[in-house]
Amino acid sequence: MTVMPLDEVTVIELAGLGPVPFAGMILAGLGADVIRVDRPGGPPIPDPMIGAVGRGKRSIAIDLKKPEGVNILLELVGNADVLLEGYRPGVVERLGISPDDCLQTNPDLVYGRMTGWGADGPYASMAGHDINYIGLSGALHAIGGAERPALPLNLVGDNGGGAMYLVAGVLAALHDRERSGGVVVHAAMVEGAASLSAPFYEMAAAGLWEDHREVNLLDGGAPFYTTYQTSDGKWMAVGPLEPHFYAEMLNGLDIDPSEFPGQYDRDRWPELRSRLAGAFAERTRAEWEDVFTGTDACVTPVLSLSEAPEHAHNLARRVFSGSAGHHLPNPTPRIDGRDPSPFADAPDIGIDTGEILARLGYDDARIQALRDLGTVS
């Protein structure tokens, strides 16, 4: 059995939507024992993503509105290394499971808080979702076509600006715990999305980025960093920024550079875009992939969610596991010499309640009594 870096780490994840479950999935992929604390009966709104982000975890169902439920959670915290929660500011305080409550129970706990707007500020108490947080960060405005911003799924706010920053903070706190003890790590999605956008803020300050969409080097404005449709209605991703890579693309397209506008002649970018569009429209996506595979032209196919798991490169790298119609990405990042197994399936809500309580010292009679009261399920 492969030993993973977080094999000795126990994470308590308070069930919710968005970045906290995603962060828990990443930690589970690195070997952590992630115990998801669900509501008895499940969430008020079904989570269509739980099958993906719930993988590799265990589930205990506790009613945290009951004092005995809070006591059970604090017992779990006393034996854990990390707690993850994604409630609005003030919610955990009202429940009695605030950072102070949990750190008093376990002074070495890393308490990971995930919010949209942050702990304070004019928007702190407002509801929001990924689209709202990335809108306030400046990131959403920069993404999309000239007419309107495009929604980058929930990759920039929930997953990138939220979950991955929370994971980074938790791992840093675990590394520093021997020196500093328990600590609260607070990640806010609006701040994470802004952080992801730092290079573009710098380019704007240097006069290298216009505050309009589809006119810049990396937002689809450059005709050599965009997508082109092929003869079969599919698409190729084109990104040869460097002149020597650009030359390889033109060679693959069987184009004489002397007959084409200069790569960085911005005044002629519309003409260059039109001519490249015409060239790519002459063949199918598969034909263009055959032309450019193995070259440095930076030209690759745009694959759908159903196509990506079957691509030769992704198969060779074992990026996905599953079967036709239900593929999911395997754990990542990878640690040299430690090849993790694919995630175990997401647990049913409360399926591990009895086992987890028994490990805390609860006997069968007490567990049944808690079930009868609706404190656990």
Residues 82 and 190 in one domain: yes
Is 155 inside a domain boundary?
A: yes
Residues 35 and 184 in one domain: yes
Residues 243 and 125 in one domain: no
Active-site option among 33, 81, 130, 158 = 158
Residues 280 and 173 in one domain: no
Residue 51 — pLDDT band, cuts 50, 70, 90? very high
Residues 178 and 50 in one domain: yes
- H/E segment holding residue 354: helix 353-359
Q: Which residues are within 8 A (CB) of 127 and not within 5 positions of it... i.e. 6 or more apart?
A: 88
What does pTM read for this prediction? Answer: 0.95
Distances (CA, A) of 77 to 3, 12, 126, 225, 360: 24, 7, 28, 49, 11
Q: Are 23 and 166 in contact (CB under 8 A)?
A: yes
For residue 104, the one-letter residue type is: Q
pLDDT per position as a tens digit, 74-83:
999 999 999 9
Active-site option among 47, 108, 129, 327 = 129
Residues 244 and 362 in one domain: no
Residue 311's domain is classified under what CATH number?
A: 3.30.1540.10
Which DSSP state fits 347? P
pLDDT per position as a tens digit, 125-184:
999 999 999 999 999 999 999 999 999 999 999 999 999 999 999 999 999 998 999 999
Residue 161's domain is classified under what CATH number?
A: 3.40.50.10540
Residues 47 and 159 in one domain: yes
pLDDT computed for residue 5 by the predictor: 93
Residues 141 and 105 in one domain: yes
C-alpha to C-alpha distance for 352 and 90, rounded to whole angstroms: 29
Q: State the total domains in the chain.
A: 2
Is 221 inside a domain boundary?
A: no
* Mean predicted lDDT score pLDDT of the chain: 96
Is residue 338 over pLDDT 90? Answer: no
Query: How buried is 259 (Cβ within 10 angstroms: 0-12 exposed, 13-18 middle, 19+ buried)?
Result: exposed
For residue 12, the one-letter residue type is: I
pLDDT computed for residue 76 by the predictor: 98
pLDDT per position as a tens digit, 90-119:
999 999 999 999 999 999 999 999 999 999
In the sheet that holds 299-301, the strands lie side by side as 226-229, 235-238, 299-301
**Averaged over 53-63, what is the pLDDT?**
97
C-alpha count within 13 angstroms, C-beta hemisphere, residue 4: 20
Tokens of 357: 């309580």
C-alpha to C-alpha distance for 115 and 133, rounded to whole angstroms: 10
Tokens of 145: 């076509």
Helices and strands in the chain: count of H runs, count of E runs: 15, 11
pLDDT per position as a tens digit, 174-189:
999 989 999 999 999 9
Residue 324 — pLDDT band, cuts 50, 70, 90? confident
Residues 66 and 30 in one domain: yes
Residues 131 and 36 in one domain: yes
Distance of CA 96 to the CA centre of its chain: 29
For residue 285, the one-letter residue type is: R
3-state secondary structure (DSSP) of residue 20: helix
Distance of CA 34 to the CA centre of its chain: 17
Is residue 340 over pLDDT 80? Answer: no
Residues 165 and 56 in one domain: yes
326 in active site: no
Q: Which domain holds residue 173?
A: 10-196+347-373
244 in active site: no
Q: What is the per-residue DSSP string for 204-247?
A: HHTT---SSTTSSTTTT-STTSEEEE-TTS-EEEE---SHHHHH
